[in-house]
């Protein structure tokens, strides 16, 4: 029986990321476009900016340095750009569900989960795994 750890099993297993990379972190306007909110509203612009900064910090803290350090040849794969944008949007919308629930019209109250499975899937290949 073969294993992914056998020599020659797969040329891609354990290989460094060589996919497309973004030019830089998302901007406030990127998140506003994702959320479909109007730019120019002072309080909302500031809140989107705060949430974006928090999302970038969260991604930076969880990922291996070569993927989140500007100037490296593998800086910011497209998946991490998307993760930062979607996490910022999730945090922005979280203000409508302070207690972890949100009203959904005639459907009643819905619980808002603490994690987005799509975000977790996108960030997984770049996580800085630490064994203690």
Q: Which residues pair with 109 in a beta bridge?
A: 103
| pLDDT one-digit tens code per residue, 54-100 | 999 999 999 999 899 988 888 899 999 999 999 999 988 887 777 77
Q: Report percent pLDDT > 70 for the chain.
A: 86
What tokens were used for 19?
């996919």
Output DSSP code: residue 83.
Answer: H
How many helices (DSSP H) and strands (DSSP E) are in the chain? 5, 2
For 120, phi and psi rounded to 5 degrees?
A: -65, -40
| pLDDT one-digit tens code per residue, 12-61 | 555 566 677 788 899 999 999 988 888 887 788 899 999 999 999 999 99
Q: Please say whether the beta carbons of 98 and 86 come within 8 A.
A: no
- Stated as kind and residue range, the H or E segment containing 89 is helix 78-93
């Amino acid at each position: 029986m073969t294993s992914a750890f056998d020599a020659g099993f797969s040329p891609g297993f354990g290989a460094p990321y060589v996919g497309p990379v973004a030019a830089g972190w998302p901007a406030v306007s990127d998140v506003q476009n994702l959320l479909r909110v109007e730019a120019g509203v002072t309080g909302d612009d500031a809140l989107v900016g705060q949430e974006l900064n928090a999302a970038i910090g969260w991604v930076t803290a969880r990922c291996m340095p070569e993927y989140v350090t500007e100037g490296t040849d593998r800086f910011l794969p497209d998946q991490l750009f998307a993760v930062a944008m979607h996490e910022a949007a999730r945090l922005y919308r979280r203000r409508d569900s302070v207690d972890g629930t949100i009203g959904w019209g005639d459907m009643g109250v819905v619980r808002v989960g603490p994690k987005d499975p799509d975000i977790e899937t996108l960030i997984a290949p770049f996580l800085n795994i630490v064994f203690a």
